[in-house]
Amino acid sequence: MLLHIPQVLTKQEVAQIRGELAAHAWVDGAHSSGAQAASRKRNLQLPADSPVYTGLARQVADALARHPLFASAVLPRQMLTPMFNCYAGGGRYGNHVDSAIQRDAQGKPVRTDVSTTLFLSEPEEYEGGELIVEDTYGEHEIKLEAGDAIIYPATSLHRVEPVTAGSRIASFLWSESLVRDAWQRKMLFDLDMNILKLRQQLGDSEEVVSLTSTYHNLLRQWAQ
């Protein structure tokens, strides 16, 4: 499921994060990738030992975790620490699939079910830099307002087109979901959204309570 999550951060929060990022050094992003991905990757990343990294990563993670659409669509069991990257001067990332297993801060393996990109640059600040995600319905081009996020299955082939002018700054992370299967997550998300709409129209009617029961029983059946 490809889903736009609007207004994860306010414009003021984006400006504050951008200000802190601008005051600290970036490093070559290829160092954080495997050998195959590194050959296709040309960008900069904020290093984990930067004095602002931990605070900014926590700010992004907390903002995503409290957003109701993110919580419903991802059903996160665990979120890996957000990272920050910058594409400029032709920076790009060719077609790739994210690593299936990554390590958290304690070295524990985490399955990457859902990828998230949170945009920190406005679309008019740079040329190119579209996130292209491929699925069974073709290619999807994503370029969102600063503060908005996109989530998509980590199994998806995707790329970042070359940035030919300006700078594209973003935060990105992976989540291990309580529900491993992407189609099951989508069905649960659709059911949850429809229950919310029906509650607004009908209140907690017998039918709405029954559908809510179905949602939780499916989640109970599919959660790992």
- 153 and 196 both lie in a single domain: no
Q: What is the pLDDT of residue 91?
A: 96
Q: Which of 95-104, 131-140, 172-181 has the highest mean pLDDT?
A: 172-181
Give the CATH number, domain containing residue 55. Answer: 2.60.120.620
| Residue 29 banded pLDDT, cuts 50, 70, 90 | confident
Q: What is the mean pLDDT of residues 49-61?
A: 97
What whole-number distance in Å separates Cα of residue 155 and Cα of residue 146? 25
Give the CATH number, domain containing residue 199. Answer: 4.10.860
- Could you tell me the two tokens for 36? 């195959």
- 33 and 103 both lie in a single domain: yes
Q: What is the mean pLDDT of residues 8-17?
A: 98
- 152 and 195 both lie in a single domain: no
- 103 and 203 both lie in a single domain: no
Coil/strand/helix, residue 111:
strand
Q: What is the pLDDT of residue 32?
A: 63
User: Hey, what's the torsion of the CAs at 206, 208, 214, 218, to 10 degrees?
Assistant: -160
Q: What is the pLDDT of residue 30?
A: 77
- Comparison of pLDDT for 29 and 112, the residue scoring more: 112
- 24 and 90 both lie in a single domain: yes
Res 99 pLDDT > 60: yes
Give pLDDT tens digits for 31-54: 665 555 667 899 999 999 999 999
- 14 and 123 both lie in a single domain: yes
- 116 and 194 both lie in a single domain: no
- 189 and 101 both lie in a single domain: no
Q: Which domain holds residue 152?
A: 3-177
| Residue 8 banded pLDDT, cuts 50, 70, 90 | very high
**% residues pLDDT > 70 (the chain):** 96
Phi and psi, residue 204, nearest 5°: -90, 65
- 10 and 42 both lie in a single domain: yes
- Could you tell me the two tokens for 137? 């319905």
- 107 and 71 both lie in a single domain: yes
- 24 and 63 both lie in a single domain: yes
Mean pLDDT of the chain: 95
- Comparison of pLDDT for 34 and 112, the residue scoring more: 112
| Residue 179 banded pLDDT, cuts 50, 70, 90 | very high
Q: How many separate domains does the chain show? A: 2
Q: What is the mean pLDDT of residues 125-139?
A: 94
Q: What is the mean pLDDT of residues 8-29?
A: 96
What whole-number distance in Å separates Cα of residue 19 and Cα of residue 6? 22
- 142 and 217 both lie in a single domain: no
